[in-house]
Chain A
């Protein structure tokens, strides 16, 4: 169990990580989502010991490791750039940690041989042990880098945007494989990514980070369905977010009054998922639905679904997602006037501070 208590780090006075509390359990897949500059790489480097925190403590299984040097932490760090040793072949790269670590190096070469081969088998590179790393493809380098870290049996394996440099096809294969490898070894993975789909798909739990603060720590379906904060709703990239004012239990959007029971008066945000809204052109919105007039802009075809882009009368872009398994596509000319509607029970309300109305207060120790 890895615990962070009020971990803080600033670069030249600018806070990068701001009083972060986090508990990482054994044997779980954790994804860390944040936009670039949110401090996610810094958080990873603090845990790995490649940066030293200004204040706060980091402990591993009850032992304080805040100031212990990187090479004595027994945490694995898989770098985005892989960091493979160019003068060694794949086998020697993977064997490096076992042979040369300060603590408990393995002298017996047959033991090194056995462990490295087993790890190369696991990541599917058993044939490539004698290749120099310069002769590998991006995906293979990624696996070597992963194998090199995992063979040392770290308590927690930190992955810095591990799929960032791979092409889309490989990326999908590696997502499945990363989960498989992790389950085979039972080691905790902490996977940093800027891609919301990746974060949602891979994690048992998901952390959303922005401006050096944790916004939400929860299972991905919770983060997706009930984002604690309007910023989280933005990062998962699945919500239309309207900005406006609440008065008398109604959210004011232009002339329309959207029901917002329970929301306090004042500035607020109103969010509706892309796939919870429908477009009406030549048909009436159903009974009880909320509807707003809009202008059709364009559509985007994604194979199994369509994205429609509309513009509300105040200029806000409104997206509607339509799954072809549920409905047939509609085709509208750009500039067509239509209505968008949704069930008001699906809407989320956020207060002036960005926190969701009705969300439990954010507790650091998740």
Chain B
């Protein structure tokens, strides 16, 4: 036995020395593509955005002389600061509604449907609207919500209302309706996934220990689904905070979110000002995601 292992080490020695460089630096070599990618497409653009936000902007030109002017304009203007507040308001409302609508749906799919096949079918059904383009999904709300839209016609014919409801379209309400419909599925998915992973034996154990269904939900099912809620909330938040298309399509350009302002500023080549809003949005998202991740330790739960 020992006689055989000694020469084996001898032959393996040189081979190992040849690959020494790769062996010793394998961690960094494997990380390199990722690092290069992130630096080129995340760190550098972010740095550029912050840098450009301090550039001097005049009506027709932009120069790299550093100034706080764009920042001052943003925070002192009723229009722009108001857009920030409106963005936050719509984000909170949409987040709350997607949770209120999404959680029961996920609960049904993840807990009440025990058949894995049916679960999959139901989740796929939730995604079917995504087979059409984003713009079509948004614009399809117009004939639904308009003054002579489907909802008003049905309600009028049923005699529930005598005048068509005007607030349905081209208001904040229509923006909220559109966004909730589009983003609710991003809440349902992660929550349903976490709920489906809850072992049936936990629920049986809790029941056997004397807990009622409501107690089991509060103490077992909901806490265990919380990581799914957080992931869903992050998805919805990131998408809603950067939204501009739904707002412009369903509000008739009356509801301006930060995203819409970026679009118009870039359209009129006001790069410095657009960069200011970009930085503000990025900071808000970082705070929101950081805050949500504090709610639950995702690394431990997933």
Contact = CB atoms under 8 A, between A and B. Distances in A.
A75 B208 contact: yes
A295 to B, nearest CB: 38
A152 B212 CA distance: 15
A103 B207 CA distance: 12
A77 B204 contact: yes
A152 to B, nearest CB: 6
A225 interface: no
B199 A71 contact: no
A79 to B, nearest CB: 5
A86 B210 contact: no
A209 B131 CA distance: 56
Contacts of B212: 71, 102
Contacts of B205: 77, 79, 83-85, 145, 148
Contacts of A148: 205, 209
A256 to B, nearest CB: 52
B208 A77 contact: yes
A149 interface: yes
Contact of A103 (B202, B206, B208, B210): B210
B209 A101 contact: yes
A242 B113 CA distance: 51
Given A83-B199, A87-B223, A97 B209 contact: yes
A85 B220 contact: yes
A100 B201 contact: no
B39 interface: no
Contacts of A145: 205
B84 to A, nearest CB: 37
Interface in A129-149: 145, 148-149
Interface in B187-221: 199, 201-202, 204-212, 215, 219-220
Determine the interface band of chain B, counting residues with CB < 8 A from chain A.
Answer: 10 to 19
A48 interface: yes
B206 to A, nearest CB: 7
Contacts of A49: 208
A149 B201 contact: no
A149 B204 CA distance: 12
B207 A70 contact: yes
Nearest to A69: B207
B220 A102 contact: no
- Residue among A74, A76, A87, A148 with most chain B CB within 10 A: A87
A81 interface: yes
B207 A83 contact: no
B49 interface: no
B292 interface: no
Nearest to B296: A87
A81 B199 contact: yes
Interface residues of A, number: 30
B224 interface: yes
A324 interface: no
Nearest to A76: B208
B208 A70 contact: yes
Contacts of A69: 207
Contact of A83 (B204, B211, B223): B204
Interface string A54-78: 0000000000000001111011110
Contacts of A100: 206, 209-211, 215, 219
Contact of A48 (B208, B210, B219): B208
A96 interface: yes
Contact of B201 (A70, A81, A97, A105): A81
Nearest to B226: A87
Contacts of B207: 50, 69-71
A329 B202 CA distance: 51
B209 A50 contact: no
- Residue among B199, B205, B215, B220 with most chain A CB within 10 A: B205
Contacts of A74: 210
Given A79-B204, A81-B199, A102-B215, A87 B224 contact: yes
Nearest to B201: A83
Contact of B211 (A76, A87, A96): A96
B98 to A, nearest CB: 24
Contact of B210 (A82, A83, A84, A101): A101
B201 A79 contact: yes
A88 to B, nearest CB: 8
B242 to A, nearest CB: 33
B201 A152 contact: no
Contacts of B215: 100, 102
22 contacts: A50-B204, A50-B208, A70-B208, A71-B208, A71-B209, A71-B211, A77-B204, A79-B201, A81-B201, A82-B201, A83-B201, A83-B204, A85-B206, A86-B224, A96-B209, A100-B215, A101-B210, A101-B211, A105-B210, A148-B209, A149-B208, A152-B210
Name the 9 nearest CB pairs between A and B, nearest first.
Answer: A101-B210, A83-B205, A97-B209, A83-B201, A77-B208, A70-B207, A102-B212, A100-B211, A71-B210
Interface of B: 199, 201-202, 204-212, 215, 219-220, 223-224
Given A70-B208, A71-B212, 19 more contacts: A69-B207, A71-B207, A71-B208, A71-B211, A76-B208, A77-B204, A83-B202, A83-B204, A87-B223, A96-B206, A96-B209, A96-B219, A100-B211, A101-B209, A102-B210, A145-B205, A148-B209, A149-B208, A152-B210
